[in-house]
């Protein structure tokens, strides 16, 4: 990964730099197993493809069964299901030029996330609006009253899927007096959450989803020079982001009796709220650019003035 210069941060940025390719052969692998069917594997290999080209490839995968069982479907939920890979090419045509191309992709696809029943407490609502009365009115009882049984009975779709990835190209050129750097980057994030918003086995909310798709592009040009009493860096940064989100919530046949005033004509009719749908479509586009610079004047060995 390659971070920007921190233009959009209030007090600075944390820069995460992945291990770079080298012209030495190297490989490593790791396998881990544990309880609940936990399995994890990691592997990485790097080395030269020619005198001027080196590559690095890393893979990882982890899976684990959850401790929570959904009695409505028989599935173990809230599990782990993660897979990822990252590749890198380093081209060094001369001693003063490095060109690095990196790409990564990871996917998470667990059936997640649900909670387990612990207990309920009374609220200021009327007794006929408390959980016990609402559940009794529909002949419903929770899947278990012992939290350590780790049972749930949610009946709506569960999903916590993520797909994240991107690519970046970095050119670093030592010009002699200073260093010129260009970073071109693209990243995406596709998220597809789905939950059971009533947290019960009743068809109150039968669908609750809020998927989103994000893409962002960045370009940075930077020139830096150091030596003597003065160091400086100047640069130009551009950024564009596109976000799309589509949410939907659908009520089911149990919604009327659960959500409307008990004893009312409307509450007694399952068709009143059955199929009620709320949806939206959110779109955001953001473009920004910046010209930046900073100078370090070393007045003494212990005192530096650094305007920027």
CATH code where residue 266 lies: 2.40.170.20
Has residue 163 been placed in a domain?
yes
Has residue 5 been placed in a domain?
no
Has residue 18 been placed in a domain?
no
For residue 135, the 8-state DSSP code is H
Has residue 112 been placed in a domain?
yes
- Expressed as residue numbers, the domain containing 60 is 26-305
| Closest listed residue to residue 195, CA positions, set 69, 278, 111 | 111
pLDDT digits (tens, 9 = 90+) for 87-124: 999 999 998 999 999 999 999 999 999 989 888 888 89
> Residue written as tokens 């959980």?
131
Has residue 123 been placed in a domain?
yes
As a whole number, mean pLDDT of residues 59-73 equals: 94
- Other residues' Cβ atoms within 10 Å of the Cβ of residue 272: 19
Q: CA distances (Å), 80 to each of 34, 104, 206, 266, in order?
A: 13, 20, 24, 43
The CA radius of gyration of the chain, in Å to the nearest whole number, is 28
Tell me the pLDDT of the chain averaged across its residues.
91
CA distance 88 to 74: 42
As a whole number, mean pLDDT of residues 263-289 equals: 94
- Other residues' Cβ atoms within 10 Å of the Cβ of residue 265: 9
pLDDT digits (tens, 9 = 90+) for 6-58: 555 666 677 777 777 778 899 999 999 999 999 999 999 999 999 999 999 99
Q: Where do the H-state alpha helices sit in the chain? A: 131-137, 255-259
Q: Which two tokens stand for residue 207?
A: 């669908």
pLDDT band for 235, please (50, 70, 90 cuts).
Answer: very high
Q: Which two tokens stand for residue 171?
A: 């050119």
pLDDT at 62 over 50: yes
Q: What is the pLDDT of residue 152?
A: 95
pLDDT > 70 in the chain, percent: 95
**Helix, strand, coil percentages in the chain from 3-state DSSP, rounded to 5:** 5, 55, 40
User: CA triplet 106, 107, 108: central angle to 5 degrees?
Assistant: 130
Has residue 3 been placed in a domain?
no
Q: CA distances (Å), 11 to each of 8, 14, 187, 222, 306, in order?
A: 9, 10, 24, 20, 15
- Other residues' Cβ atoms within 10 Å of the Cβ of residue 90: 22
pLDDT digits (tens, 9 = 90+) for 122-167: 889 889 889 889 999 999 998 888 989 999 999 999 999 999 999 9
For residue 202, the 8-state DSSP code is S
Q: Which two tokens stand for residue 41?
A: 């594997």
Contact 186, 215 (CB under 8 A): yes
| Closest listed residue to residue 64, CA positions, set 82, 47, 88 | 82
- Other residues' Cβ atoms within 10 Å of the Cβ of residue 287: 10
pLDDT digits (tens, 9 = 90+) for 185-207: 999 999 999 999 999 999 999 99
Q: What is the pLDDT of residue 2?
A: 39
Residue 24, helix vs strand vs coil: coil
CA distance 87 to 45: 10
Q: Residue 219 half-sphere exposure, CB side, CA atoms within 13 Å? A: 5
Q: What is the pLDDT of residue 17?
A: 72
Has residue 82 been placed in a domain?
yes
Q: What is the pLDDT of residue 263?
A: 84
- The torsion defined by the Cα of 203, 205, 207 and 213, in degrees rounded to 10, comes to -160
Q: What is the pLDDT of residue 3?
A: 41
Q: What is the pLDDT of residue 212?
A: 97
The pTM (predicted TM-score) of the whole model is 0.82
Q: What is the pLDDT of residue 9?
A: 62
Q: What is the pLDDT of residue 149?
A: 93
Q: What is the pLDDT of residue 79?
A: 93
| Closest listed residue to residue 149, CA positions, set 115, 116, 114 | 116
Has residue 16 been placed in a domain?
no
Domain count, the chain: 1
CA distance 244 to 235: 30
Q: What is the pLDDT of residue 1?
A: 40
């Amino acid at each position: 990964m390659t971070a920007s210069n921190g233009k959009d941060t209030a007090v600075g940025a944390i820069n995460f730099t992945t291990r770079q390719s080298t012209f030495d052969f190297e490989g490593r692998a790791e396998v881990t197993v544990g309880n609940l069917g936990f399995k994890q594997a990691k592997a990485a290999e790097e080395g030269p493809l020619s005198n001027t080209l080196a590559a690095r490839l890393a893979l990882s995968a982890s899976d684990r069964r959850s401790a929570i069982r959904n009695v409505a479907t028989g599935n173990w939920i809230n599990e782990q299901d993660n897979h990822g890979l990252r590749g890198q090419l380093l081209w060094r045509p001369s001693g003063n030029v490095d060109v690095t191309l990196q790409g990564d992709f990871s996917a998470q696809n667990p059936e997640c996330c649900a909670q387990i029943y612990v207990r309920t407490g009374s609220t200021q609502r009327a007794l006929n609006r408390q959980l016990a009365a609402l559940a009794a009115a529909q002949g419903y009882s929770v899947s278990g009253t012992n939290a350590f049984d780790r049972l749930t009975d949610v009946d709506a779709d569960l999903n916590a899927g993520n797909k994240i990835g991107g690519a970046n190209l970095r050119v670093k050129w030592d010009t002699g007096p200073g260093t010129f750097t260009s970073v071109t980057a693209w990243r995406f994030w596709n998220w597809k959450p789905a939950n059971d918003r009533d947290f019960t086995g009743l068809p109150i909310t039968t669908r609750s989803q809020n998927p989103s798709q994000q893409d962002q592009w960045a370009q940075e040009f930077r020139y830096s020079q150091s030596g003597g009493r003065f160091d400086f860096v100047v640069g130009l940064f551009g950024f564009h982001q596109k976000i799309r989100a589509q949410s939907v919530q659908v009520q089911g046949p149990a919604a009327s009796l659960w959500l409307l005033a008990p004893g009312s004509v409307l509450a007694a009719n399952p068709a009143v709220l059955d199929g009620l749908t709320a949806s939206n479509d959110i779109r955001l586009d953001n473009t920004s650019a910046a010209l930046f610079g900073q100078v370090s004047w070393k007045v003494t060995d212990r005192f530096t003035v650094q305007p920027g």
